[in-house]
Amino acid sequence: MPLLNIIIPTYNRKRLLEECLNSILSQTFTDYKIIVVVDGSTDGTINMLEESFKGLEVIRGNGDWWWTKSVNKGIEAAFKYNPDNILLLNDDVVLPPEYLNNVMKAANENPGCLLGSSIKDIRTGKYTYIGTNLDWRKVRYKNLITLYDLEKLSEYIPVNHLPGRGLLIPIQVFSKLGLFDTRTFPQQKADADFSLRAINAGYNLVVATNAYLFSHVDEGPDKVYESNYSIANFFKRLYEKKSKQNIYYTLRFNIRHCPKRWLLSYSLINVSAIIIGYLKRWLVSEDL
């Protein structure tokens, strides 16, 4: 049985997925099984997988699974292989050849931890993520890039929450936590919610800086709202399920995890920052 199961949820991003899969097949570490969850793609993804990537497992969704159910379906499929670890990847990442070796080294040196990957912009090769810490009292996500010398990074950086892009989870964690929360967070916040639940259950979270992924930064889900500023996009960013700044899911996340003494102040400032930040960027774009 493979030591590692790699799960990639995807929807209508055939070109990016193909690049991602080719980078996995070029890894020096080979003891893995790939599971791709295709949630109703209509862009030829299934044909591409059947023609070019015959050794992996493909799970087909009905187009209404979104990220969280797609990931859960992949995890459920992985259980039959009895892996030591599950690795979640986005379809818009590219893996350097030693990435999986570095991930498994990090897992061996941090037993029982949830491990996050650092991120580099595929265009520039510069770090865009080495971890963030959520500060409920000061109402901010502290970007750790501002606190570290990027030329002298620690190999492992402790954090208090993790995204799902390059997230390594020891298989035994699911026995204690269950799967990702599809009902409460069908698309956004499910990864951060899972990692905070892990902390509450006694697990440590670490970002492995040597295990970095290249990311197509401009392919993120919220870029569509910023590419064309308008009243319509303003409201879509606040209410569409795929938006990272969906207010409904933001508030549900805060209510679940924010300490009660800071919940009201954090949520008011949090929502105000989402609204004002978009309007400010819109005004700046008008001046360009």
Domains detected in the chain: 4-219 (3.90.550.60), 223-287 (no CATH)
What pTM was estimated for this model as a whole? 0.93
Per-residue pLDDT tens listing for the chain (288 residues): 568 999 999 999 999 999 999 999 999 999 999 999 999 999 999 999 999 998 899 999 999 999 999 999 999 999 999 999 999 999 999 999 999 999 999 999 999 999 999 999 999 999 999 998 888 887 777 888 877 777 788 899 999 999 999 999 999 999 999 999 999 999 999 999 999 999 999 999 999 999 999 998 877 766 777 878 889 989 998 999 989 899 999 999 999 999 999 999 999 999 999 999 888 888 888 765
In degrees and rounded to multiples of 5, residue 163 shows phi and psi of: -80, 170
From the list 175, 29, 36, 35, the residue with the least C-alpha distance to 108 is: 29
- Alpha-carbon distance of 94 to 237, in angstroms, equals 27
